[in-house]
Amino acid sequence: MRLDLVAHSPDVEALIATAMLTTTSGTRPSKLFQRLLKNPGKVREIVRRLEPQHGSVLEHNRFTWVMEASNEKVLEALLASKFFDVSPLGAGRWLMSANLRAVIEYSAGRKEALAEALISSLKGIIPSVKAVQMWWR
């Protein structure tokens, strides 16, 4: 099983932090987003407070991977999460996409190749992943 992240929403953590704050403040989202981009420490502080749940700000992003896996492994993933979108590319390759909430919920407590690959693929995109390891374990 192999997983390569090929695309994702830009500035995911700042976007999440902006969504969190705009639901509780009167500041315009575009202004708040620009301020947060300049303050990664504040972004990490805010993102650490997240809880995955329906309607969560963790749903306002998208990640896309090319996955090399057997039909059986893909079926297992689809049965485990109705929020993965998977399309065949041929020759054991698949295009898979999901939002951060789906990744967190799928990976929680799993010690298997796809869960580990999903988490690993996001570490460079979401630096605060280290601060919120509880989501996955």
Residues of the chain under the 50 pLDDT cut:
54, 131-132, 136
pLDDT for 52: 55
On the 0-12 / 13-18 / 19+ scale of CB atoms within 10 A, 85 is middle
pLDDT for 129: 55
pLDDT for 132: 47
How many Å apart are CA 95 and CA 76, to the nearest integer? 15
Which domains does the chain possess? 2-135 (3.30.1360.170)
pLDDT for 131: 44
pLDDT for 126: 81
> Taken in order 100, 89, 77, 69, is the CA torsion positive or negative?
negative
